[in-house]
């Protein structure tokens, strides 16, 4: 990996919430064009790492560079959260939500060309037909694509997504990941996910986070990865191979399926 192609560089990152250590001595790089999947147990530090890379949280120590700059507001970075903080009922249309992503970066008054651009993004994500609908009226998959449209509205080169398909049915999940694969042709994609099944089909690399981080430049789930991320041993997997597609921390109840 040449230095020129590195879009994210993290060195010796440490972070704690008070006395509770969350990330310890984390170092890794993300190259342009990668599709990185970040896996790990709940509380392992995945979302915290994402928030530090986005500049929402400040690391206790370490050197972090996003496109050579310290984390913070950047037109080159897009972010798709798992959910929005507003509850259901918030009055906002699909178009308005997507436009928010463009205007927060661009500033100034909304111009016709901004709306035109947004309509193009909505079209690409196949939700242009619901552009004037309220977010409330959409399915889980459509809502998630609106959040992706909002992130794409600033024309990013690096897209971070936090559990983008967690509240979506199987068909919706496939559509979202197919879409991400398409986007990955023109931008770097980093997905935090519990879903290990996406790795072989979509990812080009995997990062296992459980306080420490191990990055693998390969797109398959190995025993080593599961051990690093979840503490799963090969013996445990032999008991129940279905562990490979388990969500979150492998659950013992699967043994009953023998």
Residues at the site binding other proteins, with contacts judged by CB under 8 A: 51, 54-56, 72-73, 77, 79, 81, 84-87, 89-93, 96-97, 100-101, 103-105, 132, 134, 150
Q: Would you call 117 helix, strand, or coil by DSSP?
A: helix
Beta-sheet pairing, 61-66 with 6-17: antiparallel
The closest alpha carbon to 155, from 70, 77, 65, 94, belongs to 77
Q: Closest approach of Cβ 256 to other proteins, in Å?
A: 37
- Minimum separation from the CB atom of position 148 to other proteins (A): 12
Q: Are strands 188-192 and 35-39 parallel, antiparallel or unpaired?
A: parallel
Cβ distance 8 to 162 under 8 Å?
Answer: no
| Nearer Cβ to other proteins (18/257) | 18
Q: Which residues contact 182 (CB under 8 A, 6 or more apart)?
A: none
**Please, what is the minimum distance in Å from the beta carbon of residue 62 to other proteins?**
19
Is the CB of 105 or the CB of 174 nearer to other proteins?
105
Q: Give least dist CB 16 to other proteins, A.
A: 17
Partners of residue 39 on adjacent β-strands: 208
E strand or H helix at 89: none
Q: Cβ closer to other proteins: 101 or 141?
A: 101
Q: Of 130 and 240, which CB lies nearer to other proteins in the complex structure? A: 130
Q: Which is nearer to other proteins, 68 or 108 (CB)?
A: 108
Give the largest CA-CA distance in the chain: 62
| Least separation in angstroms between CB 1 and other proteins | 26
């Amino acid at each position: 990996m040449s230095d020129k192609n590195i879009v994210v560089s993290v060195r010796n990152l440490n972070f704690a919430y008070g006395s509770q250590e969350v990330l310890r001595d984390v170092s890794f790089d993300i190259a342009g064009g990668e599709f990185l999947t970040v896996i790990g147990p709940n509380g392992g530090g995945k979302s915290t790492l994402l928030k530090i890379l986005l500049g929402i949280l400040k690391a206790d120590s370490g050197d972090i560079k996003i496109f050579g700059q310290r984390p913070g507001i950047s037109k080159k970075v897009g972010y798709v959260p798992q959910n929005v903080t507003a509850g259901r009922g918030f009055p906002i249309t699909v178009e308005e939500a997507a436009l928010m992503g463009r205007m927060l970066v661009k500033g100034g008054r909304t111009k016709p060309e901004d709306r035109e651009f947004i309509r193009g993004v909505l079209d690409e994500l196949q939700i242009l037909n619901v552009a004037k609908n309220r977010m409330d009226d959409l399915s889980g998959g459509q809502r998630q694509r609106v959040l992706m449209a909002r992130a794409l509205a600033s024309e990013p080169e690096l897209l971070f997504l936090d559990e983008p398909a967690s509240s979506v049915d199987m068909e919706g999940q496939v559509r979202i990941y197919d879409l991400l694969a398409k986007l990955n042709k023109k931008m770097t994609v980093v997905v935090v996910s519990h879903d290990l099944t996406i790795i072989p089909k979509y990812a080009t690399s995997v990062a296992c986070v459980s306080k420490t981080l191990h990055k693998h430049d390969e797109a398959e789930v190995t025993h080593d990865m599961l051990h690093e991320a979840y503490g799963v041993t090969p013996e445990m997997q032999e008991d129940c191979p279905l562990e490979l597609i388990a969500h979150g921390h492998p659950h013992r109840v699967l043994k009953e399926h023998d």
